Amino acid sequence: MSAAEDRAENIRMIRDSAAAVAVPGDFGRIRRLRFTAPGFDRAVWRQMCGMGWAGLRVSEAEGGAGLGMGEFCALAEELGAGLVPEPLIPCAIAASVLQGTTLAALLAGDRVIIPAWQERANSLEPAADTTFRDGRLFGKKMFVHMAAGADAFLVSAREGFAVVERDAPRLSVVIEPTQDGGNFGVLRMSDTPATPVPGRIGAALDEAALATAAYLLGVMRRAFAMTLDYLKTRRQFGRPIGSFQALQHRAADLQIQIELTRASVESAAATLDTSTATMLRAAAVSRAKARAADASLLVTRQAIQLHGGIGYTDEYDAGLFLRKAMVLANLYGSAALHRARYAATAAEDDEA
C-alpha cells in the first residue's frame, strides 16, 4: 500500500470512528447539554481521549498518534456534522504545549486543560498584557472556549506559558453562555500562583483555526443534507417542494459553497502537512477559515429559510446548526480578520 493509500485509509477509519460520538441524526444528547455546566459530557470526553483523538497531533514519542492535519480536519468535520460539544480543538492546542505527566493526564481524559490566550476581541495574538513573575500571574483573558468544564487553564503570558488550576487562589472565572448552548469564560488573575510550562502556541492557533473551519464544514454539510431531505418530502400544490426550480437553484448554490469550502480546507491541511513556510501556511489557513466562516453562516441561514416556518422554531434541529455557526464563525479569528491576514501574508510572500 502506498503512502497516499495508507493515509486515505487512516482518514476513512477516523471518519468511521467519529460515528461512535457524532451519531447521525441523534441530537437529543446535544439538546440535553445545552446551557448546562460544563456544557459537555465528561464520560464522552474520556471516550474520545480513549480513541486517541486528543493526541492526534501529538508525536508518538509523547504518547500521541503523530498524525497530520488532514486526519485532524477529517475528524473535526465529522464532529461538526454531529454538533459535538466536547472541547477537542481547544484541548489539542493545550496538548501541543504541555509535556510530561500534565500532557499524559490530558491525553488520557483525566484532566481537561483549556488554553486561555486571548486578551482582545477578534485576535490571533496571544499574551499582550498578561505577565508571569515569580510563579505568579497578573492579567485578564477573554473568550476562553468551554471554560466551564476546565480543570485547569494553560495561560499565555509575555514571559511564556503557565498552568493555572481552576481553584487557584485569586483566580476569578466568569462564565457567559453562548448562542449554541456552550460557554466562554473570562479569567482575571492577580498574584495567582501558576506552574511554568515551556513551549510556543503560534502554530497551534493556526491549526485550531483550520480545525474550526473543518468543523464548520461539517456543520454546513449536515444542515444542507437535512434541508435536501425536507425539500424531497415536504409537499405543496400536490408535489414535493424540491421540484420547484427556484428552490433547486438555491440548493445548487449552497452545494457549491460547501464544495468550495471543502476544497479550501483540504488544500490548507495539505499545506500545513507538507510546508514549513510560515507565510504560506498562514495564508492557507486564513483562506480556509474566512471561507468556512462566511459559507457556514450562509448555508445554515438558508437552511432555516428553506425549511419555512418550522425552521425558525427551537424544537426543530435545523436551528441548532445556525446557532453553532454563529458562535464558531468568529472563533480563532473572524472572516474579516482572516481576509486581512491573507492579504498581508500573500503580499509578503510575493515580495519574498
Percent share of the chain, pLDDT over 90: 78
pLDDT one-digit tens code per residue, 141-171 = 999 999 999 999 999 999 999 999 999 999 9
Same domain, yes or no: 241 and 184: no
Say yes or no: 7 and 141 in one domain: no
Strand partners, 197: 161
Q: Are residues 243 and 344 in the same domain?
A: yes
Whether 96 and 120 map to the same domain: the answer is no
The answer on 230 and 189 residing in a single domain is: no
Residues 25 and 92 in one domain: yes
Residue finishing a domain among 108, 130, 150: 108
Last residue of a domain, one of 197, 220, 241: 197
Which residues form the domain of 154? 113-197
The CATH number of the domain where 263 resides is what? 1.20.140.10
Sheet strands (E) in 45-203:
113-116, 131-133, 136-145, 152-157, 160-165, 171-177, 183-193, 195-197
Residues 98 and 70 placed together within one structural domain of the fold = yes
Percentage of the chain modeled with pLDDT above 70: 97
- For 86-97, the pLDDT digits (tens) are 999 999 999 999
Q: What is the CATH number of the domain that holds 117?
A: 2.40.110.10
In this structure, the answer to whether residues 63 and 23 fall within a common structural domain is: yes
Report d(CA 110, CA 122) in Å as an integer.
31
Tell me, yes or no, if the pTM score tops 0.85.
yes
Is-cis flag, bond preceding 90, omega within 30?
no
Question: Does 318 share its domain with 218?
Answer: yes
Sheet (strand 131-133) strand order: 131-133, 136-145, 183-193, 171-177
Q: What is the largest CA-CA distance in the chain?
A: 75
3-class SS shares of the chain: helix, strand, coil, % to 5: 55, 15, 30
When divided into structural domains, the chain yields a total of 3
CB 328 within 8 A of CB 296: yes
CA-closest candidate to residue 86, choices 32, 129, 45 = 45
Q: How confident is the model at residue 349 (pLDDT cuts 50, 70, 90)?
A: low
Q: How far apart are the first and last CA of the chain?
A: 39
Q: End of a domain among 149, 164, 197? A: 197
Sign of CA dihedral 188, 194, 200, 205: negative
Give the cell for residue 256.
457549491
50 and 120 belong to one structural domain: no
If asked whether residues 189 and 218 sit together in one domain, one would say no
